[in-house]
Amino acid sequence: MLALGIEGTAHTVGVGIVDEGCRVLANVYDMVKPEKGGIHPREAANHHAEAVVPLIRKAADVAGVDLAEIDLVAFSQGPGLGPCLRTVATAARALALSLRRPIVGVNHCVAHLEIGRGVTEAKDPVLLYVSGGNTQVIAFARGRYRVFGETLDIGIGNMLDKFARECGLPFPGGPILEKRAQDGSKLLRLPYSVKGMDVAFSGMLTAALALRKHGASIDDLAYSIQEVAFAMLTEVTERAMAHLDNEEVLLGGGVARNARLQEMVGRMAVDRGAQMFVPPGDLCIDNGAMIAWTGLQMHRGGVRMSMAETIVDQRFRTDEVRVTWR
């Protein structure tokens, strides 16, 4: 069985093709890079509308399959930016109708976890999902993926990107700050905001920008932001693992590519006799393969959707999905 998945919740539109063994046959994408300011939902949607059809063709080329061989069309149903979600859903519906294949809407956050389970040895991990818009600690419990902790304001990636932008650095800022942090050495005082199982980053952003105004170097700030923010994330992830008596931690989302975050979470895992898993970078960021793989499993688990049920949901919660495939 072959599934084609289309991702398009935010800045990235991606198309992936996977088979029933979670072999990724194609995973192509294109990312909006605004020249100035943040991501404008309508502009991103226009970008996705232009890019999606060529990407579908490219994915089929890379996979070496004809679109007629696709058995299932999956798409990111939410959460995300409304115009982007609607654009990608429209493309998925058109493809499913023209191929006469079933269509499945997939929860984006669940897909980050499922692709990690699919391509690593992790079986039942606690997922630390760290991306631009989302920051959540997720694990499977009583038939659903439950959110054990999350950001109370902005996503970690969003915080990094915004800080970078205010310092005149291009988007996406996360990987640039990772490099700059290697030249930083002074740990500056930044708020450590952990509330129970939740975290908050907007105070840290404000404080870092204020320090910058008073002459702190970008290198030291990048270093300090990483040390403090990643420590916060490691703490809540460890607590979730302790509560659940779980010995696997999986990283997902674009920020999971960060070597310092991997080092901190990896160290925490070793200290408690647990194991950390990190999917390859192209499967950490927003991508179509994770949507295809999750859609394929949902289909195998008996999920069927009418066209009316493919309506998008900007606030689609992780724990709304009944996980029938595990």
Contact between residue 114 and residue 138 where contact means Cβ atoms under 8 Å apart: no
Q: 232 is written with which tokens?
A: 């916060």
286 binds Mg ion (CB under 5 A): yes
Burial degree of 196 (CB within 10 A; 0-12, 13-18, 19+):
exposed
Taking CB under 5 A as the binding criterion, the range among 31-39, 46-54, 126-134, 223-231 that sits at the site for Mg ion is: 126-134
CB of residue 160 vs ligand AMP: minimum separation in angstroms? 5
Residues across the chain? 326
Question: How many whole angstroms from its chain centre is CA 310?
Answer: 21
Taking CB under 5 A as the binding criterion, the range among 166-174, 205-213, 218-226, 284-292 that sits at the site for Mg ion is: 284-292
286 binds ligand AMP (CB under 6 A): yes
DSSP helix/strand/coil, 137: strand
CA–CA separation, 22 and 259 (whole Å): 25
Q: Which of 157, 279, 288, 295 binds ligand AMP (CB under 6 A)?
A: 157
CB of residue 257 vs Mg ion: minimum separation in angstroms? 12
The set of residues, in sequence order, having a beta carbon less than 8 Å from that of 46 and lying 6+ positions away, is none
253 binds ligand AMP (CB under 6 A): yes
CB of residue 320 vs Mg ion: minimum separation in angstroms? 17
Taking CB under 5 A as the binding criterion, the range among 60-68, 149-157, 279-287, 290-298 that sits at the site for Mg ion is: 279-287
CB of residue 315 vs ligand AMP: minimum separation in angstroms? 17
For Mg ion, the closer of residues 227 and 286 by Cβ is 286
Site for ligand AMP in 123-152 (CB under 6 A): 131-132
CA–CA separation, 113 and 116 (whole Å): 5
For Mg ion, the closer of residues 45 and 218 by Cβ is 45
131 binds Mg ion (CB under 5 A): yes
258 binds ligand AMP (CB under 6 A): yes
Q: Which residue is nearest to ligand AMP (CB)?
A: 254
173 binds, among Mg ion, ligand AMP, none (CB under 5 to 8 A by kind): ligand AMP
Contact between residue 163 and residue 216 where contact means Cβ atoms under 8 Å apart: no
Q: Looking at this protein, which amino acid is placed at residue 256?
A: A
Contact between residue 225 and residue 180 where contact means Cβ atoms under 8 Å apart: no
The set of residues, in sequence order, having a beta carbon less than 8 Å from that of 253 and lying 6+ positions away, is 112, 129, 130, 131, 132, 134, 135, 157, 284, 285
CB of residue 37 vs ligand AMP: minimum separation in angstroms? 15
Task: Find where tokens 């420590």 sit.
Answer: 231
What are the residues binding ligand AMP (CB under 6 A)? 12, 131-132, 157, 160-161, 172-175, 178, 253-255, 257-258, 285-286
